[in-house]
A and B are shown apart, each in its own frame.
Chain A
C-alpha cells in the first residue's frame, strides 16, 4: 500500500517564517511565535478543518483511502485536510475529525472510504462519536466522557492524534522544544537532573529503574565521547505503545533524547527503532531531518555553544535486541547477544564509552518534567510509581487500544471500563501481565492497583504495560507453551541454561499437551525453570519461565486435567484433536 504525503495546510502556511537554520535564541522564539499563530489561526478561521487519523493500525483498515477521499471531495474548497495520527483507540478506526465553522471538532468513528461524501456533507451525523477537547455540542457528547477517554490523563499522548506528526511547526506550536530550549539556555545540568530525580520517574522499559539516578551517573562519567540511546525496539509480542508515540508525536521523543544529551554531556544521541514499524521509522526520520534543518541538532545549537549529533538505527526482528547491552552490540554491527555486567553501560556502552539508555516512553516524559517541574509529575500516580503509564491491551475486549492513565488505576477499571469488557461470546478467563516475562492474574485479582510494585506479589508484573486478556477458548497449557516457545526462539543462544533449558521446557509441555504427561512432569517443569531463572546470563533467560510458572500456579486444575484425565478442557491441545498431530509451529 502506498502512502500519500501530507500536503501542507495550504493558505495557513503563508504565515510561516522561512524555515532555514535558526541561528540563535531569538530566532527560535520568533519561529515558535509564528508557528503558534499559524496553529491558532487554523482553528479560529471560518473554514472547515478535516483531520484523518493515519497510523500503522488504521492504515490497515483503509485510513489512507479515507484521507484520499476527503482530499478528493474537498478539492477546490478552502477546507484544510490534515493527516494526523491515530489517537490510540483502535476500535474507532478509521476515524475522521471535522471542525465546521462555528463548531467544535467532532470525531466520527469507523468511517469507510465510500461514506466520505455523505460524512462531509453532514448526512452521517448519527456516526458522531464525540467532541474532541471540549464540551458536548448539539447532542453530541464530549469525547472525554467516553469510558475509553474518561480515565486518561494524556501527557505523553497529549499531541498524538491532534498534530500532524510530519509537521515540526505543529509540534512547536504545541510546545515541542521548549524544554530543550530551557536546558540550553535557562537551566543548568544539575538543576535539570534535580527535576528528573524529584519527579520520581522510573524507567518505562520494564525494569522501573529511577531515571534521575541513571542520568546522574551518566553525567558524572568521565570518558569521552558519551552517548544517549533511546530504546524503541519494542519487540515484545504484547505491546504497541512506543511505536504509537513515534507515529503520533515523534518530536516529543527526539526532544527527550536531545535533553538527555545536553544534560548528561553526551555528544551523540541514538534512537534504535524496531524494524517492524516502517511508519514509525519514516515519521521519526522526518522529524530528525526537520530538526536538523532548523539547527536543533548539529553544531552550536541555537548559538548556545552546545552541539549534539544524532543517528537513527533500526532493528532486524530479534527480540533480544531490546536488552540494553544487546542493543548496543546491534548498533555496533554485531550479533545482539547480551554481556555480563558490570561494567554497566553508563561506564562502558557503545564503543566502550559511557552510554545512557532509556526507553522511549521514559524519554517522552522528560519535556513535561522540565517545563512543569518534578514536583508536578510526582503529584500524579502512587507512592512508588509516579506519573502516568501508557498501557495497551490485546485479546477479545470491546474497545481495544492504547491509553495513558495515572499509575495506580485498578486493573478492573482498565479491563471493564476503559477497554469495554469482553466482546460478545467471550468470557473473561484471565489477563496475562508483563508480556512474556511474568504470570497471569484472574478475575479475583482485578481490584489491585496497576503500578510497578503491586502486581509482583501475585506473580504479575507491570513490565512495559502490555496486557493480554484471554477468554474461555484459550487453553492455559497451550498458552504457556506459546510463551515458552517464544522465549526458546528468541534466546540468543549465548548461555547454556537459556539455550537448552527453554527447549527442554517446551518438550515437557508438549508431552502434557499430547496427553502423555505425568504428575512428575509438573515437578520437572518447576525444577528446570528454577535452573533457567537462577543460571541465565541476561534478563531474557532470568524471567523466561515466569509465564509458565504463573499459568501452573493460577490454573493448576487445568494442567492436572490434561495429565490425570487426559482431556484438554478447551479442546485446543492435540489430546483432544488428533493424537498424532504435534503442533510443529512456534
Chain B
C-alpha cells in the first residue's frame, strides 16, 4: 500500500476487510466497531468518511457514532498521511532526554505539530503521549518502518533528509 496522499481510499479493499468481521449478535457488532476502524486505519493510514459509512452499515450503527470514535481516539486519522509517517515519542524518558526540543524543532523548521502534514506532503507526524518502549535510546522516533534513537534536532534533520531523498516507502 502506498503512503502517497490521495483523497479517497479504495472502498473495495474496505469491503474486503469488513467481510472478515462477522459478529454473532448486536453486542458483538458494537464491540467490533473499533476493531474495524483500527484495521482500516492500519491499512490506509487514515479512515475516510465513506469508509466510516461502510463500517456503520456493516455493523448496524450510525455514521455519527463511528465519527465520534474516530475523533476521540488519538490513533485514528481522518485525513490522508503524507509520503512519510513519523511517530515522535513524547513519553517521559523521551521528555527527560529532550523530546521537547524535537517537537519544537518540527514546529519551527518544518511547520508541523501533532497530526500535521508538511505543506509539500512529504511528512506527517504523530506525537505519541505514551511510551514507545525504547526508553534507553530516548528521544526516540519511528519513521515509516525504521527506528531512530538518541536524537538531537540536528540528527533528526539528517534522518529526515535521508528519508526524503529515498522517497516513499514502497510497502507499508
Are A585 and B73 interface neighbours, CB within 8 A?
no
Instruction: Take A237-B92, A432-B92 as given contacts and tell me if A394 and B73 are in contact as well, using a CB distance cutoff of 8 Å.
Output: no
9-residue interface stretch from B9-17, B28-36, B156-164: B28-36
| A contact residues around B133 at 8 Å (CB) | 56-57, 240, 243, 277
> Distance in Å from the Cβ of B108 to the closest Cβ of chain A?
8
Residues from chain B with a CB closer than 8 A to the CB of A470 are 96
CA distance A289 to B95 in the complex (A): 38
Cβ of A314 within 8 Å of any chain B Cβ, yes or no, is yes
Mask: chain A, 269-280; 1 = CB below 8 Å from B; 0 = not: 000001111000
Name the residue on B nearest A330 (C-beta): B34
B2 within 8 Å of A (CB atoms): no
A237 near B95: Cβ-Cβ < 8 Å:
yes
Which residue on chain B has the smallest CB distance to residue A397? B136
Report B36 CB to chain A, min CB distance, Å. 10
Residues on the A chain within 8 Å of B130, using CB: 234-237, 274, 276, 317, 319
Bits for A370-399, please: 1 = Cβ < 8 Å to B, else 0.
000000000000000000000010111000
Complex Cα–Cα for A432 and B93 (A): 11
Within 8 A of B (CB), among A441-500: 466, 468-471, 473-474, 478-479, 482, 486, 489-490, 492
Bound: A466/B115 CA distance, A: 27
The answer to whether B134 and A331 have CB atoms under 8 Å apart is no
User: How many of chain A's residues have a CB under 8 angstroms from any CB in B?
Assistant: 64
Does B137 sit within 8 A of A, measured CB to CB? Answer: yes
CA distance A492 to B97 in the complex (A): 28
B13 to chain A, nearest CB (A): 20
Residues in A with CB closer than 8 Å to B30 are: 332-334
Would you list which residues of chain A between 494 and 537 have a CB under 8 Å from chain B? Answer: none
**A489 partner, pick from B32, B106, B107, B129, beta carbons under 8 A:** B129
Residues B31 and A238 in contact, CB atoms below 8 Å apart = no
Q: Does A400 contact B (CB under 8 A)?
A: yes
> Which of A319, A336, A432 is in CB contact (< 8 Å) with B129?
A319
Contacts of A333 in B (CB 8 A): 30-34, 61, 65, 69
> Which A-chain residue is minimally distant from B89 (CB atoms)?
A237
Closest to B87 in A: A276
| Contacting residue for A237 out of B32, B33, B61, B91, CB 8 A | B91
Please indicate the chain A residues that have their CB under 8 angstroms from the CB of B93 in the complex: 238, 394-395, 400, 468
The verdict on A583 contacting B100 (CB below 8 Å), with A316-B73, A335-B68, A394-B92 known, is yes
Bound CA span A2–B113, Å: 28
Q: Please state if B91 and A238 are interface contacts (CB–CB under 8 Å).
A: yes
Distance in angstroms from B67 CB to nearest chain A CB is 11
Task: Give the docked Cα–Cα distance between A586 and B106 (Å).
Answer: 12
Q: Which of B72, B76, B135 contacts A394 (CB 8 A)?
A: B135
Task: Establish whether residues B72 and A57, one from each chain, have CB atoms under 8 Å apart when the complex forms.
Answer: no
Taken residue by residue from 33 to 61, chain A's Cβ proximity to chain B (1 for < 8 Å, 0 otherwise) reads as 00000000000000000000000110111
Distance in angstroms between the alpha carbons of A120 and B103 in the assembled complex: 42
Q: Please tell me if the beta carbons of A486 and B27 are within 8 angstroms of each other in the complex.
A: no
For residue A238, which residues in chain B have a CB less than 8 angstroms away from its CB?
Answer: 91-93, 131
Minimum Cβ distance to chain B for residue A221 (Å): 19
Contact string, A327-353, partner B, CB cutoff 8 A, digits 1/0? 000111111100000000000000100
Within 8 Å of chain B (Cβ to Cβ): is A67?
A: no
B166 close to A (CB within 8 Å): no
- Are the C-beta atoms of A317 and B73 separated by less than 8 Å? yes
Which residues of A lie under 8 Å from residue B73 when comparing CB positions?
315-318, 336
Decide yes or no whether A311 CB sits under 8 A from chain B. yes
Cβ-based interface call for A74 (8 A): no
Closest residue on chain B to residue A275 by CB atoms: B75
A91 on interface, CB distance cutoff 8 Å: yes
Select from chain B the residue with minimum beta-carbon distance to A429.
B96
- Which residues of B in the span 75-134 have a Cβ within 8 Å of any Cβ on A? 75-76, 90-93, 95-98, 100, 103-104, 106-107, 113-114, 127-134
- In the complex, whether A313 has a CB less than 8 A from a CB of chain B is yes
A239 to B131, CA, bound (A): 7
Once the chains bind, are A584 and B145 in contact (CB under 8 Å)?
A: no
Q: Which of B35, B37, B129, B149 contacts A60 (CB 8 A)?
A: B149
Judged by a CB distance under 8 angstroms, whether B154 is at the interface is no
Judge whether A435 is part of the interface by a CB distance below 8 angstroms: yes
Within 8 Å of chain B (Cβ to Cβ): is A1?
A: yes
Once the chains are docked, how many angstroms separate the CA of A276 from the CA of B129? Answer: 10
Task: List chain B residues, Cβ under 8 A from A468.
Answer: 92-93, 96
> Which residues of chain A are within 8 angstroms of B69 by Cβ–Cβ distance?
316, 333-335
A311 to B34, CA, bound (A): 14
CA distance in complex: A140, B96 (Å): 35
A90 CB within 8 Å of chain B: yes
Residue of A nearest to B37 (CB): A316
Determine if B138 is an interface residue (Cβ-Cβ < 8 Å).
yes
* B21 at the A interface (CB under 8 A): no
Residues 205 to 249 of chain A near chain B (Cβ within 8 Å): 234-240, 243
On whether the beta carbons of A1 and B146 are closer than 8 Å, the reply is: yes
- B95 contacts across to A, CB distance below 8 A: 237, 479, 482
Q: How far is the CA of A234 from the CA of B38 in the complex (A)?
A: 18
A237 to B95 Cα, complex, angstroms? 9
Chain B CB within 10 Å, residue with most, of A234, A332, A395: A395
Query: How far, in whole Å, are A308 and B64 apart by their CA atoms in the complex?
Result: 34
Q: A1-B145, A316-B38, A332-B30 are in contact. Are A237 and B132 (CB under 8 A)?
A: no
A81 to B109, CA, bound (A): 46
CB <8 Å contact, B137 and A61: yes
- Which residues of chain B from 1 to 57 have a CB within 8 Å of any chain A CB? 27, 30-35, 37-38
**Complex contact A396–B96 (CB within 8 A):** yes
Collect the chain A residues with CB atoms within 8 Å of residue B136's CB. 57, 90-91, 93, 400-401
Which residues does chain B contribute within 8 Å of A274, judged by CB atoms? 130
B110 to chain A, nearest CB (A): 12
**B31 adjacent to A332 (CB under 8 Å):** yes
- Contact residues in B for A583 (Cβ distance below 8 Å): 100, 104
Given A90-B136, A318-B74, A482-B100, 6 further pairs, Cβ under 8 A: A235-B130, A237-B91, A237-B129, A314-B35, A401-B136, A478-B100
Would you give 18 A-B contacts (Cβ < 8 Å), ordered by A?
Answer: A56-B134, A57-B135, A93-B136, A237-B92, A237-B130, A316-B38, A316-B73, A316-B74, A316-B75, A334-B69, A395-B92, A396-B96, A401-B136, A435-B92, A468-B96, A482-B100, A585-B114, A585-B127
Give me the interface of A with B, judged by CB distance under 8 Å: 1-2, 56-57, 59-61, 90-91, 93, 234-240, 243, 274-277, 311, 313-319, 330-336, 351, 392, 394-396, 400-401, 432, 435, 466, 468-471, 473-474, 478-479, 482, 486, 489-490, 492, 583-586
